Amino acid sequence: MTTVLWVVLPYACLAVFLAGHVWRWRRDQFGWTTHTSQLLENQLLRLGSPLFHLGAFGVIGGHALGLLIPASLTRRLGVSEHAYHLVSVSAGSVTGVMLVAGLALLIARRFVNGRIRRVTTTMDKVLYAFLTAMVVLGMTATVGRNMLGGGYDYRETIAVWFRGIFWFQPHTELMTGAPLVYQLHALGGFLFLAIWPFTRLVHVWSAPLAYLWRPYVVYRARRGPAPAPRPAPAAVRDADRGRRSELIALVPPGRDEGPYS
Amino acid sequence: MRIRAQVAMVMNLDKCIGCHTCSVTCKQTWTNREGTEYVWFNNVETKPGIGYPKHYEDQDRWKGGWKLDAKGRLVLRSGGRVKRLSRIFANPDLPSIDDYYEPATFDKDILVNAPAGRTDTPVKRPYSALTGEPMAVTWGANWEDSLGGASGREDPNLARMAAKVTFEFEKTFMFHLPRICEHCLNPACVSACPSGAMYKREEDGIVLVDQDRCRGWRMCVSACPYKKVYVNHATGKAEKCTFCFPRIEAGQPTVCSETCVGRLRYLGILWYDEDAVLAAASVPDDELLDAQRAVFLDPFDEAVQQAARDAGHPEEWIGAAQASPVWKLISEYRIALPLHPEYRTLPMVWYVPPLSPVLDAAGAAGRDDTDADDIFHTIRDLRIPVEYLAELFTAGDAEAAGGVLMKLAAMRSYMRARTLDGTVAQELLDGIDMTGEQVEAMYRLLAIAKYDERYVIPAAHARDAAVLEAQAAAHGDCPVGDPDGAGPFFPADSLRVRS
């Protein structure tokens, strides 16, 4: 069971994440979009979307910091355990609150606004449910355990296990001892990666940074050959007339009203 | 110099009767799909009026197009690259669907399925195409048709004119303004597209959205000052007028042109210098019209022809540029004007401004609307219609707008004298600095407007066509050159004599 949860499942999810993206990129460029609904509703989005996105940037940055940078490195750099804890908890809760508020607004507009409700797909609902679960678990861990509770040093256990996955040396024993809320958050995180390529989240990889230095007006040559020239309608009409007079000549004498009368 | 070809359009507004045939055929062809119910690639507005979407010409509000910054440099009105990306999570300049209108559908089934024997008449109700709920229809793409549903007083163009003239103006005249995408030389939508999905075609200048590369950042919608790029809310991608490129490539006019009842649309190609575009878009307001005219290259100039050949343009295109009615109306007769040149996008759909409002005004003022002198005086004295047209077509230059109207009025009187009395009104020709031959050719192009003269569209490069034919022949399913002599346009049985 331990192996399944902390070895098989993460690798399976990562495999789906990678293969899913390759498949979607090659098969579904047309569906690769933010799927903007600002046209249909702007009041809640105007506040909710920037909050959510900026909060998400902070949260992603925080996760990268906490999971990818070994505790030994920050110690060597002279960052005290207390200072690290202070920064991570305060920054984590601020961005977390932004994310929660943004997500709440975005979910609210899906319920409140009939126009938005109608364009919400099943995949959107799955995505929102996942995001909510992840945020609730994450905030419980940050606020509940590290801020109000006694604190848990995930950098010595979860982070080491997480990095181990990428070195192909996952230390499952580090996870079995972690508190339940952290376990669930970690598992949910991998499942979240697995559904990522099948949701509108793919737009993250299209963040248009190249816009900052490309020329304003884009010129592009037509792809493939042009269709063969077609006769203009007037030519068709005139050609038709020519044929018609030929046909009229074929009409037996006495029937002079023409072929189309 | 980098010479490029542009397929461009001119509309002769005097002939527009506001029948909306162009809008309807365009919609049937391109936007009769889920997600585009509210989208009209072609719409016909009544001026004065607030238009579709509402108040789209108010760039203080929508921030469309370009402007000159404090240092005189050309910048997008909505801000630079960093500012745009910083607003990508919520675009503050994006119109909402209510600025267009809420599209409705009707439960027509009830008209057939209502039970018999009832005393009341079944009535179909409007339902929102967005929510499926019953709704009241309170706005549409042509709600103000013929000044019927709204007050033209809110027209952003009027706001720039003196307030006192407004009321008089409303009583004075109205006219119709058909609008499609302008396929600009300096497109703000393309410049604002973060993903680079929008582009201008090298071959013919048509501006398109690559549906596979659009990521739905919806910056093009707000950057276009004409609001002619739309969000398809079903696919989450931007869509716009395609200038019916499959038809243009095949040498046929666009659907809106083909079906125009008033025969008021002209299609042709123009040569322009890509390197001159930025400079022309950056001149002060009072030089805009001349600068935009100067971007076009004379198709009769040997050097231009040679440059076109060197750039790989086929001989057919060089001839087509000389026969182009668009070149004649814009550069030779100089009676076509761009819509809102002050947006600095260098639009490629130009308009011959309507003379009829001035004729109406002349009649209302007790003047003889067939007398050129009286009309000239009306154009000079009745500043209101001319100033309004100037707001639309010459960045406020009433002199330029009036000059075009003078030409149209002179042509009218010249042809009247020519036809009725057989005389040549030389003083009229001198007044507008044109020859009798030119005026008669202009008259023929505007009034007779033969199909072949209105639409001079060279088919896409012949070598491409040859490639395609070779491909089709290789696959053995080529419909062209049927041994029976009946090509794709002539199914054999359509020619059979019906008795």
Q: State the first-to-last Cα distance of chain A, in angstroms, to the nearest integer.
A: 86
Closest partner residue to B89 (CB to CB) among A53, A209, A226 is A53
Closest partner residue to A118 (CB to CB) among B130, B249, B498 is B130
Mean pLDDT of B283-305: 96
Residue A244 pLDDT level (bands cut at 50, 70, 90) = low
Residue B354 distance to chain A (closest CA, Å):
28
Tokens of A95: 């961005």
Is the whole model's pTM more than 0.95, yes or no? no
User: Cβ separation of A243 and B490 shorter than 8 Å?
Assistant: yes
Stronger pLDDT, A150 or A174, i.e. the higher one: A174
Residue type, A223: R
The residue extents of the domains of chain A are 2-207, 231-261
- Distance of alpha carbon A190 from alpha carbon A168, whole angstroms: 16
Contacts of A43 in chain B (CB under 8 A): none
pLDDT in tens, A204-224: 999 999 999 999 999 998 866
Side-chain-facing half-sphere of B471: CA atoms under 13 Å:
11
Q: E strands of chain A, at which residues?
A: 219-220
B133 touches chain A (CB under 8 A): yes
Contacts of B456 in chain A (CB under 8 A): none
Count of CB atoms situated within 10 Å of the CB of B233: 25
A120 φ/ψ angles, rounded to the nearest 5 degrees: -80, 120
Residue B469 pLDDT level (bands cut at 50, 70, 90) = low
B8, B326 Cβ separation under 8 angstroms: yes
Contacts of B480 in chain A (CB under 8 A): 228
- Distance of alpha carbon B266 from alpha carbon B326, whole angstroms: 6
Contacts of A101 in chain B (CB under 8 A): none
Place of tokens 């949910």: A188
Residues 449-488 of B with CB under 8 A from A: 451-452, 455, 459-462, 464-465, 467-469, 471-472, 480
Asked if the model's pLDDT at residue A103 lies above 70, the reply is yes
B300, B314 Cβ separation under 8 angstroms: no
User: Cβ separation of A217 and B187 shorter than 8 Å?
Assistant: yes
User: Cβ separation of A119 and B215 shorter than 8 Å?
Assistant: no
User: Cβ separation of B130 and A40 shorter than 8 Å?
Assistant: yes
Task: Tell which residue, A70, A91, A52, has the closest CA to residue A201.
Answer: A52
pLDDT in tens, A2-46: 888 999 999 999 999 999 999 999 999 999 999 999 999 999 999
**Of A85-99, B64-78, B368-382, highest mean pLDDT:** B64-78
Residue A119 distance to chain B (closest CA, Å):
7
Asked if the model's pLDDT at residue B484 lies above 50, the reply is no
B430 touches chain A (CB under 8 A): no
Per-residue model confidence (pLDDT) at position A258? 40
A2-207, CATH topology level: Fumarate Reductase Cytochrome B subunit (1.20.950)
Per-residue model confidence (pLDDT) at position B190? 98
Task: Tell which residue, B392, B359, B358, has the closest CA to residue B46.
Answer: B392
pLDDT in tens, B9-51: 999 999 999 999 999 999 999 999 999 999 999 999 998 889 9
SS3 A111: helix
Count of CB atoms situated within 10 Å of the CB of B451: 13
pLDDT in tens, A40-52: 999 999 999 999 9
Residue A90 pLDDT level (bands cut at 50, 70, 90) = confident
Asked if the model's pLDDT at residue A256 lies above 50, the reply is no
User: Cβ separation of B200 and A226 shorter than 8 Å?
Assistant: no
Side-chain-facing half-sphere of B154: CA atoms under 13 Å:
12
Which of B86, B89, B94, B199 has the highest number of chain A CBs within 10 A, making it the mutation to test binding with A?
B89
In chain B, which residue's Cα lies nearest the Cα of A114? B131
SS3 B134: strand
Look up residue B53 and give its DSSP letter: T
Mean pLDDT of B331-347: 97
pLDDT in tens, B252-269: 999 999 999 999 999 999
Cα B359 from chain centroid? 24
Residue B273 pLDDT level (bands cut at 50, 70, 90) = very high
Residue B486 pLDDT level (bands cut at 50, 70, 90) = very low
Mean pLDDT of B236-244: 97
Mean pLDDT of A172-189: 91
Asked if the model's pLDDT at residue B160 lies above 80, the reply is no
- Distance of alpha carbon B131 from alpha carbon B104, whole angstroms: 10
pLDDT in tens, B440-452: 999 999 999 999 9
In chain A, which residue's Cα lies nearest the Cα of B95? A39
Contacts of B490 in chain A (CB under 8 A): 239-240, 243
**Average of per-residue pLDDT values in chain B:** 88
In angstroms, the Cα distances linking B254 to B145, B250, B326, B351 are: 24, 11, 15, 17
B88 touches chain A (CB under 8 A): yes
Per-residue model confidence (pLDDT) at position B379? 80
Tokens of A162: 């997480």
Residues 180-209 of B with CB under 8 A from A: 186-187, 190-191, 193-196, 198-203
If DSSP states are collapsed to H, E and C, what string results for B87-128?
CCCCCCCCCCHHHHCCCEEECCHHHHHCCCCCCCCCCCCEEE
B389, B339 Cβ separation under 8 angstroms: no
Which of B37, B74, B131, B257 has the highest number of chain A CBs within 10 A, making it the mutation to test binding with A?
B131
Asked if the model's pLDDT at residue A255 lies above 60, the reply is no
Torsion of CA B440, B441, B446, B447, to 10 degrees: 50
Given CATH 3.30.70, say whether it is the number of domain B282-454: yes
Which of A109, A211, A244 has the highest number of chain B CBs within 10 A, making it the mutation to test binding with B?
A211
User: Cβ separation of A218 and B251 shorter than 8 Å?
Assistant: no
Closest partner residue to B216 (CB to CB) among A34, A226, A230 is A34
In chain B, which residue's Cα lies nearest the Cα of A55? B89
Asked if the model's pLDDT at residue B237 lies above 70, the reply is yes
Asked if the model's pLDDT at residue A251 lies above 80, the reply is no
- Distance of alpha carbon B207 from alpha carbon B188, whole angstroms: 11
Mean pLDDT of B135-161: 82
Residue B478 pLDDT level (bands cut at 50, 70, 90) = very low
In chain A, which residue's Cα lies nearest the Cα of B83? A212
Q: Which residues pair with B200 in a beta bridge?
A: A219, B207
Torsion of CA B156, B160, B164, B165, to 10 degrees: -80
Helix axis angle, A43-68 to A158-166, nearest 10°? 80
Look up residue B52 and give its DSSP letter: T
Torsion of CA A123, A127, A130, A135, to 10 degrees: -170
Q: State the first-to-last Cα distance of chain B, in angstroms, to the nearest integer.
A: 63
Which of A217, A223, A238 has the highest number of chain B CBs within 10 A, making it the mutation to test binding with B?
A217
User: Cβ separation of A232 and B251 shorter than 8 Å?
Assistant: yes
Asked if the model's pLDDT at residue B497 lies above 50, the reply is no
Place of tokens 């005389």: B423
Q: E strands of B334-404, at which residues?
A: 337-338, 349-352
In chain A, which residue's Cα lies nearest the Cα of B453? A234
Look up residue A252 and give its DSSP letter: P
Residue B466 pLDDT level (bands cut at 50, 70, 90) = low
pLDDT in tens, B374-419: 778 878 777 778 888 999 999 999 899 999 999 999 999 999 999 9
In chain B, which residue's Cα lies nearest the Cα of A258? B497
Which of A27, A30, A33 has the highest number of chain B CBs within 10 A, making it the mutation to test binding with B?
A33
Look up residue B185 and give its DSSP letter: S
Contacts of B461 in chain A (CB under 8 A): 226
B129 touches chain A (CB under 8 A): no
Place of tokens 């706005």: B139
Tokens of A6: 């902390």
User: Cβ separation of B452 and A234 shorter than 8 Å?
Assistant: yes
Per-residue model confidence (pLDDT) at position B475? 53
Closest partner residue to A38 (CB to CB) among B85, B94, B249 is B94
pLDDT in tens, A124-133: 999 999 999 9
pLDDT in tens, B164-188: 455 555 566 789 999 999 999 999 9
User: Cβ separation of B495 and A36 shorter than 8 Å?
Assistant: no
Contacts of B250 in chain A (CB under 8 A): 226-230
- Distance of alpha carbon B352 from alpha carbon A16, whole angstroms: 60
In chain B, which residue's Cα lies nearest the Cα of A113? B131
Residue B221 distance to chain A (closest CA, Å):
10
Which of A230, A237, A245, A260 has the highest number of chain B CBs within 10 A, making it the mutation to test binding with B?
A230
Number of continuous H segments (helices) and E segments (strands) in chain B: 24, 15
Contacts of B460 in chain A (CB under 8 A): 222, 226-227, 229
Percent of chain B at pLDDT above 70?
A: 89
Per-residue model confidence (pLDDT) at position B420? 92
Tokens of B414: 């010249």
Residue B157 pLDDT level (bands cut at 50, 70, 90) = confident
Residue B277's contacts (CB-CB under 8 Å, 6 or more residues apart) are A217, B185, B186, B295, B346
Burial classification of residue B494, based on how many CB atoms lie within 10 Å of its CB (0-12 exposed, 13-18 middle, 19 or more buried): exposed
- Distance of alpha carbon A153 from alpha carbon A147, whole angstroms: 12
Closest partner residue to A206 (CB to CB) among B195, B231, B480 is B195
Residues 389-408 of B with CB under 8 A from A: none
SS3 B455: strand
CATH classification (class only), B18-102+138-258: alpha beta
Contacts of A214 in chain B (CB under 8 A): 196
SS3 B270: strand
Closest partner residue to B214 (CB to CB) among A33, A46, A260 is A33
Q: Which helix (H) or strand (E) holds B272?
A: strand B265-273
Per-residue model confidence (pLDDT) at position A109? 95
pLDDT in tens, B308-327: 999 989 899 999 999 999 99
